[in-house]
Chains A and B, each alone.
Chain A
Amino acid sequence: SQTIHQWPATLVQPVGSPLSLECTVEGTSNPNLYWYRQAAGRGLQLLFYSIGIDQISSEVPQNLSASRPQDRQFILSSKKLLLSDSGFYLCAWSVSGRANVLTFGAGSRLTVL
């Protein structure tokens, strides 16, 4: 069966520090991978999606970047965090052709102080 792991679950970082959130998927090959951010009282905002290794599209201009060094690994990074980067970050995967159903990780809550 397929599983998705996301870590760390909780992170408190000072402004200006770097960030690395990692997501891995098991049990499937060549998944579509996504990073979403969820702000309180708002829907999910798609940040990045990837259809393959080193193939990443950015949906919104921002202070964050994403990388996919391996087929089932997706990393969200920042060189210098801003206060506005605080939020709940969700990784997800899907398989093309399956009704575009997303399977989400448990999320990473980032607080920037």
Chain B
Amino acid sequence: KQEVTQIPAALSVPEGENLVLNCSFTDSAIYNLQWFRQDPGKGLTSLLLIQSSQREQTSGRLNASLDKSSGRSTLYIAASQPGDSATYLCAVISGANSKLTFGKGITLSVRP
């Protein structure tokens, strides 16, 4: 059974810092990996999707990398801003039914 882990559960950094959010998964036979952002009480916003054949994807200040063989992905946020404060969730698509399995998320707080 696929399991996705995100550690730590919470992170607080000063504005301007570059930071890395980690995600690990137990079954490396994935099709895709997707990073989401969730603001309190809201739905999920897709940030980046990495297909299994790709190593990384970039969007603005965000860069996501994927190492399938080691079961790891990282989300790099450059020059963090208070508006980046949110919960970031990692999810992988794997298995016979191509189900999306989520980590529990990392709650990021960027201090002004």
The yes or no verdict on A and B being binding partners is: no
